[in-house]
Amino acid sequence: MIVAWAGGDRYEALEQTRSVSPQTCIAYDPLAQLLVTGGTDGLVSLFPALPQIGHCIRTIPAHRGTWVTGILFLHDIGAFATCGDDGVLRLWDRQTFDE
């Protein structure tokens, strides 16, 4: 489970619909209001950020069979990058989520 705090004692659990594996990395994009997590199952999950934290809006099989080890937003090109134990760095469009 992933829990996000929105100030004070208020918190909301992010509901992951597909990935049930432990999450290994997380990144927040304040410009797109997007939260992205990566797990030991190779999946990348995308969540709308504040104030609408909640349901996973997309799951991407980014690094099949290996852990996702890093996520980085690249604002100047409108993308985010993921890397995994497979040794691959992938770029994803921040709007369409296409590679």
Locus of tokens 């709308």: 48
Of 84, 91, 80, the residue nearest 66 (C-alpha)? 84
Partners of 43 in beta bridges:
61
Average pLDDT over residues 1-15: 57
This prediction's pTM: 0.81
SS3 56: coil
Amino acid 87: pLDDT: 96
Which residues make beta-bridge pairs with 90?
Answer: 82
pLDDT at position 57: 87
Number of Cβ atoms within 10 Å of the Cβ of 53: 20
Chain segment 56-92, per-residue pLDDT in tens: 889 999 998 899 999 999 999 999 999 999 999 999 9
Enumerate the β-bridge partners of residue 23.
Answer: 39
Confidence at residue 94, expressed as pLDDT on a 0 to 100 scale: 87
